Amino acid sequence: MITFIATPIGNLKDITLRALEELRAADVIFCEDTRHTVHLLSAYEIRKPLFSCHKFNEREAAEKMIEFSREGKRVAVVSDAGMPVISDPGNAVCRILREQEEPYTVLPGACAFVCALVLSAFPADRFTFVGFLPEKTSERRKELERYTHVRNTLIFHCAPQDIEAYTQLMYEVFGNRRACAVREITKLHEESVAFDLKEGYHGERRGEFVLLVEGGKDEENILCTLSIREHVQAYMEQGYGKKEALKLAAKDRGVPKSALYKETLDL
């Protein structure tokens, strides 16, 4: 049997009794980073053969898991923190296991974005988990534009060095909305800071972040569901000059014209 196991996201005590039982019973453990997992296992005096399962070798790791499982061995799968697959390696492994009809199960546990949603006090009846945005700014912008008119609370993972770039780009795309940055979840310096996208985040920049942004409102201009380029172009097609179209689109989005200008240079 192959078992995916959630591990602590910060505090090592946040591990379930079932997770410990399964890790102790496992014949082999597949993990994102063996050095990181050794720290967790050592805290509970668990010693097992470790194999790597990261984003560059998921197919090879999956084949090895299947081989072990069909030999009758118990296989445990963990990531560095939280639930495997969620912004972590493992999704390709799950697809391969299902394709090859190899049974597997999941032991629930810690998950950073769920904790952050509670700490933010934002609406939790409907939310959209986006995870990490692409590395290139142009690709980030396109990804954010897909969620412009989504009314759900939006949830992102963010590295500390990217928090300023994320929030500035979100302001350009979404306009001014309430946001909340949650960091160091379950650790000594856990912090949840609410702010407006227009003002930006001015808090501590250490530790991994979960960034939450309020969803769009029903009364928002329907043109805001378009990309910035399409938004400006829609006004130009109504007979407005480019300068006036930029001004109107910026007003709709609640951002300065300069935030839209570079996206419409060739119009």
- pLDDT tens digits, one per residue of 151-183: 899 999 999 999 999 999 999 999 899 999 999
- pLDDT tens digits, one per residue of 21-60: 999 999 999 999 999 999 999 999 999 999 999 999 999 9
In percent, how much of the chain has pLDDT > 70? 98
pLDDT band at 20 (very low <50, low <70, confident <90, very high): very high
Which has more pLDDT, 86 or 239? Answer: 86
Distance (Å) of CA 228 to CA 62, 138, 235, 246? 42, 12, 11, 9
Neighbours of 83 (CB within 10 A): 24
- pLDDT tens digits, one per residue of 105-141: 999 999 999 999 999 999 999 999 999 999 999 999 9
Report the distance separating Cα 124 and Cα 120, nearest Å: 9
Q: Is the dihedral of CA 50, 53, 54, 59 positive or negative?
A: positive
Average pLDDT over the chain reads 92
CB 33 within 8 A of CB 80: yes
Please return the burial class of 199, using the count of CB atoms within 10 Å of its CB with bins 0-12, 13-18 and 19+.
exposed
Distance (Å) of CA 227 to CA 116, 199, 231, 234, 246? 29, 23, 6, 10, 13
Number of residues in the chain:
267
What single string gives the DSSP state of each residue in the chain?
-EEEE-B-SS-TT---HHHHHHHHH-SEEEES-HHHHHHHHHHTT----EEE--TTSHHHHHHHHHHHHHTT--EEEE-SSBSTTTTSTTHHHHHHHHHTT--EEEE----HHHHHHHHHT---SSEEEEESPPSSHHHHHHHHHTTTT--SEEEEEE-GGGHHHHHHHHHHHH-S-EEEEEESTTSTT-EEEEEETTT---S---S-EEEEEPPPPTTS-GGGGS-HHHHHHHHHHTT--HHHHHHHHHHHHTS-THHHHGGGTT-
Q: Which of 132, 138, 106 is nearest to 210 (CA)?
A: 132
Answer whether residue 219 shows pLDDT above 60.
no
What mean pLDDT is predicted for residues 174-194? 95
Residue-level pLDDT at 70 = 97
Answer whether residue 263 shows pLDDT above 90.
no
Q: Is the dihedral of CA 259, 265, 266, 267 positive or negative?
A: positive
Report the distance separating Cα 203 and Cα 180, nearest Å: 11
In order of start, what are the domains of the chain with their CATH numbers? 2-110 (3.40.1010.10), 113-213 (3.30.950.10), 222-264 (no CATH)
Residue-level pLDDT at 218 = 59
Exposure on the CB side of residue 137, measured as CA atoms within 13 A:
10
Residue-level pLDDT at 222 = 67
Residue-level pLDDT at 221 = 62
Residue-level pLDDT at 260 = 81
Residue-level pLDDT at 266 = 79
Residue-level pLDDT at 41 = 97
